């Protein structure tokens, strides 16, 4: 009996020691699991629920996430603020200078009178905003905005625009004074409307084209003359310019580079005397 009691006591002590050791091991395991990095746990759960097919459907190619900076899910309506265009302006001169109307507007004039200094005839446009609205799978979009167009025509010859005080009619003369600067500024408030084709909608700086039309209203025009005899002279007038300008417009996005261009639908002058159709081209500083 005594031996049986002794054996029973030894077994109880052994079981108790084994239980304590197992409990300690479990506690250590629990502590270790508690301190496991959170990202590892989330990655395990993510990988268990995603097979290779799901991965290929979600991502276009197997690249590390930190290499996807140029990819973004496009929104249905995106806005780009304060866009700036830097380019050149000119016009196609279709004037018949032998006609009576042309000679009444520019007595003795010919096509050489209105030749421009191409490198100094600049176009600067400031767009307050442009918006792009998704129409078909972010590939076909509607693009529109609001801004101002600043067209500066630098003449080679010493022509001067004048207004007859009695008839208020505008006419042009060839002055005998030599001007170091002879500029006509023609500025519009403009609303562009374009159909945009974005060939790479998943890229922030992708490839695409936009075509459409713009409507501009003439809010300011003036001629600035600088000569040694009279210094700086500035004349504010409408010079019989057409108050409205409708233009065909286009832009092309080539990665981070965006090019733009415009071509007016008719002459910028109201008078039948001059038939000069303006156009512009240059680079657009925009996100898209």
pLDDT tens sequence across 5-29: 454 444 444 444 444 544 444 444 4
The 8-class DSSP code of residue 112 comes to G
Task: For residue 258, give both structure tokens.
Answer: 């965006």
Calculate mean pLDDT across residues 168-191.
95
Model confidence pLDDT, tens digit, residues 68-82: 445 557 789 999 999
Between 13-17, 48-52, 57-61, 230-234, the lowest mean confidence (pLDDT) is in 13-17
Q: What is the CA radius of gyration of the chain?
A: 37
**Per-residue CA distances from 162 to 111, 118, 158 (Å):** 18, 24, 13
The angle formed by the CA atoms of residues 228, 232 and 235, to the nearest 5 degrees, is 135
Between 45-54, 73-82, 193-202, the lowest mean confidence (pLDDT) is in 45-54
What count of other Cβ atoms lies within 10 Å of the Cβ of residue 142? 16
The angle formed by the CA atoms of residues 80, 244 and 86, to the nearest 5 degrees, is 40
Percentage with pLDDT > 70 across the chain: 75
User: Would you say how long the chain is, in residues?
Assistant: 288
pLDDT of 218 strictly over 60: yes
**Higher per-residue confidence, 260 vs 170:** 260
Q: What backbone torsions phi and psi does residue 279 show, to the nearest 5 degrees?
A: -145, 160
pLDDT of 30 strictly over 90: no
Model confidence pLDDT, tens digit, residues 99-139: 999 999 999 999 899 999 999 999 999 999 999 999 999 99
pLDDT for residue 59: 57
Calculate mean pLDDT across residues 236-265.
96
pLDDT of 258 strictly over 50: yes
pLDDT of 266 strictly over 70: yes
Model confidence pLDDT, tens digit, residues 144-160: 999 999 999 999 999 99
What count of other Cβ atoms lies within 10 Å of the Cβ of residue 90? 17
Q: In which residue are the tokens 């081209």 written?
A: 281
């Amino acid at each position: 009996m005594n031996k049986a009691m002794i054996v029973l006591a030894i077994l109880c002590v052994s079981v108790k020691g084994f239980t304590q050791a197992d409990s300690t091991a479990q506690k250590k395991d629990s502590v270790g699991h508690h301190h496991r990095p959170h990202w590892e746990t989330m990655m395990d759960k993510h990988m268990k629920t995603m097979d290779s097919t799901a991965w290929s459907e979600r991502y276009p190619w197997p690249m590390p996430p930190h290499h996807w900076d140029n990819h973004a899910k496009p929104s249905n309506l995106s806005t780009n603020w304060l866009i700036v265009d830097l380019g050149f302006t000119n016009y196609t001169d279709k004037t018949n200078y032998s006609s009576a109307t042309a000679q009444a507007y520019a007595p003795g004039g010919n096509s050489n009178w209105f030749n421009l200094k191409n490198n100094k005839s600049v176009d600067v446009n400031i767009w307050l905003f442009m918006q792009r609205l998704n129409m078909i799978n972010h590939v076909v979009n509607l693009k529109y905005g609001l801004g101002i167009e600043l067209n500066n025509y630098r003449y080679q010859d010493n022509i001067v625009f004048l207004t007859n005080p009695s008839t208020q009619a505008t006419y042009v003369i060839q002055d005998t004074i030599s001007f170091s600067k002879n500029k006509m500024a023609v500025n519009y408030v403009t609303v562009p409307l374009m159909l945009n084709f974005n060939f790479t909608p998943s890229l922030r700086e992708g490839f695409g084209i936009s075509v459409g039309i713009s409507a501009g209203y003439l809010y300011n025009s003036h001629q600035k003359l600088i000569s040694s005899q009279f210094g700086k002279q500035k004349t504010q007038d409408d010079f019989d310019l057409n108050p409205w300008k409708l233009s065909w417009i286009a832009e092309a996005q080539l990665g981070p580079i965006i090019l733009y261009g415009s071509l007016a639908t008719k002459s910028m002058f109201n008078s039948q005397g001059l038939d000069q159709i303006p156009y512009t081209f240059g680079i657009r500083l925009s996100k898209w």
